[in-house]
Amino acid sequence: MKAYVFPGQGAQFVGMGKELYDNNAEARALFEKANEILGFNITDLMFAGTDEDLRQTAVTQPAIFIHSVLLAKSLGDEFRPDMVAGHSLGEFSALVAAGALSFEDGLRLVSARAQAMQKACELTESTMAAVLALPDEKVEEICAGIEGVVVCANYNCPGQLVISGEVAAIDAACEALKAAGAKRALKLKVGGAFHSPCMEPARAELAAAIEATEFHVPVCPVYQNVDALPHTDPIEIKANLVAQLTAPVRWTQTVRNMIADGATEFVELGPGKVLQGLVAKIDSSVAVSGMQ
């Protein structure tokens, strides 16, 4: 069985999507439609912007979404997923690719989500940090003992977690994690504490946008970040998308569940190769490939 997976923030690169734009008429039309919906030329930033341009949440999230979804569309009839999943933002790409959302509605939601998250980032001095070579349980235990907001945000693969929270709490946690034997506990260059309670201020805005959007039953199960389980019910999918803002991305568990349910081949659609690497570390017995 074939599983398609879609990357999240951090996978962007200058020049992303340019080949699709130049060589695929349908993709080109949708790129132009995206510029119209967003109210600015995101294609200029994707194809020829700076790294700094692409790091802004309000640009990064729509850019990765557009690139990922248009890659799926470029496959035409070859795109026949048995199951899909996306990492954080990538969950929206997965839902559009699986037919639960239109491209236009998906882009509007991603833009609304990015803007709501950006506003939440500006309210609290917050960040994220990568933690390598400690068991999940040990990282959870240390975070629970730190004063302030710091939580596990991304369970990426065994031995690789990302923590998220207030800057002072992250600094304290990094010191404690290194003292406990972490190979690395390194702050990331991100706009704020995604997938943590620091994103709570964005919830009402995103929930309202999701509630006002029409969702359909997808063509295959969508494994969602919040519980790592397959979903096809639009009401459940909507609730999980809202919960995802402040809850961790359970990627390790998601991939394991997809494999347990029959996935033997994983294809990453979108910029970069991050998910291909994570899937291979979670289970080296499955086939992994990608398109970018």
Instruction: Point out the residues that are catalytic.
Output: 88, 195
How distant is the alpha carbon of residue 59 from its chain centre?
14
Tokens of 126: 């917050």
Q: CB within 8 A of 211, min separation 6: which ones?
A: 238
Parallel, antiparallel or unpaired: strands 2-6 and 265-269:
parallel
Residue 241 CA to residue 25 CA, distance in Å, equals 31
Residue 95 CA to residue 233 CA, distance in Å, equals 12
Residue 282 CA to residue 253 CA, distance in Å, equals 9
DSSP code for 189: -
Tokens of 10: 């951090």
Residue 213 CA to residue 228 CA, distance in Å, equals 23
Q: CB within 8 A of 39, min separation 6: which ones?
A: none
SS3 assignment, position 245: coil
Tokens of 135: 């068991």
Please report which helix (H) or strand (E) contains residue 140, including its range: helix 136-144
CB 138 within 8 A of CB 147: no
Q: Where are the beta strands (DSSP E) in the chain?
A: 2-6, 83-86, 126-132, 150-157, 160-166, 184-187, 222-223, 230-231, 265-269, 287-291
